[in-house]
Amino acid sequence: MPIDTALIGALHVAGSSPVTPGYHFHFISEDRRVGGHLLECRISRGELRIDHEADLRLELPAGITVAAPGMTVAQMETLNRAERG
């Protein structure tokens, strides 16, 4: 279903970020009615902007689980399945 969206992504290196390592993309529709994790897409036209910012401030609602130091292997596997499908 073609829709106009904004797409944002980042490369998270293992140990440098509180989220699962790898590329991580989110989208939001132009009308702000739909959005979320992007697992697959085909881009027909777009504009690329690269921000070389080294700092990331991440604010999440209470109860949201993200990768963190001390997580068990089972917890990381569960998180990876949720992130990657």
- Rounded to the nearest 5°, which phi and psi values hold at 81? -65, -40
pLDDT above 70 (res 85): no
Estimate to the nearest angstrom the gap between the alpha carbon of 27 and the chain centroid: 9
Question: Greater confidence, 56 or 22?
Answer: 22
Contact 66, 82 (CB under 8 A): no
DSSP 37: E
pLDDT above 70 (res 1): no
Q: Which domain holds residue 14?
A: 5-84
d(CA 22, CA 67): 12
Q: Cβ of 83: how many Cβ atoms within 10 Å? A: 16
Number of domains the chain is built from: 1
* pLDDT of amino acid 17: 62
Contact 35, 26 (CB under 8 A): yes
pLDDT above 80 (res 71): no
The answer to whether the predicted template modeling score (pTM) of the entire model surpasses 0.75 is no
pLDDT digits (tens, 9 = 90+) for 49-61: 888 877 767 676 6
